[in-house]
Amino acid sequence: MIRCPKCGEELSTVKCLSCGSMTLEMGTYCMFCGAKIDRSSDLESEEDIDFENRVLCSDGTCTGIVVNGRCTECGKPQ
């Protein structure tokens, strides 16, 4: 369990497939070993994406789309 050092809220974590440590879900890389966090299970196949109604990442420099509440490129929550 990882808690926010400012507010104490419990933060969502995922298990790093490289080192097995619990790391922040919102991260792009494991904060223990530096391996890229695998988000392939979060992504929909291209057939499942409604390109007419997709939601673009709110970060003005990112080219990702929001799927299941997170950007497919940078991992930021919507």
Q: What is the pLDDT of residues 1-60, one digit of tens each?
A: 788 888 888 888 888 888 989 988 888 888 889 888 876 655 555 566 677 888 888 888
User: Does 46 lie in the same domain as 34?
Assistant: no
pTM equals 0.48
Host domain of residue 73: 41-78
Determine the pLDDT at residue 19.
92
User: DSSP assignment of the chain, as one string?
Assistant: -EE-TTT-PEEPEEE-TTT--EEETT-SB-TTT-PBPP-TTTSPPGGG--TTS-EE-SSTT---EEETTEETTT--B-
Indicate the number of domains in the chain.
2
User: Does 70 lie in the same domain as 47?
Assistant: yes
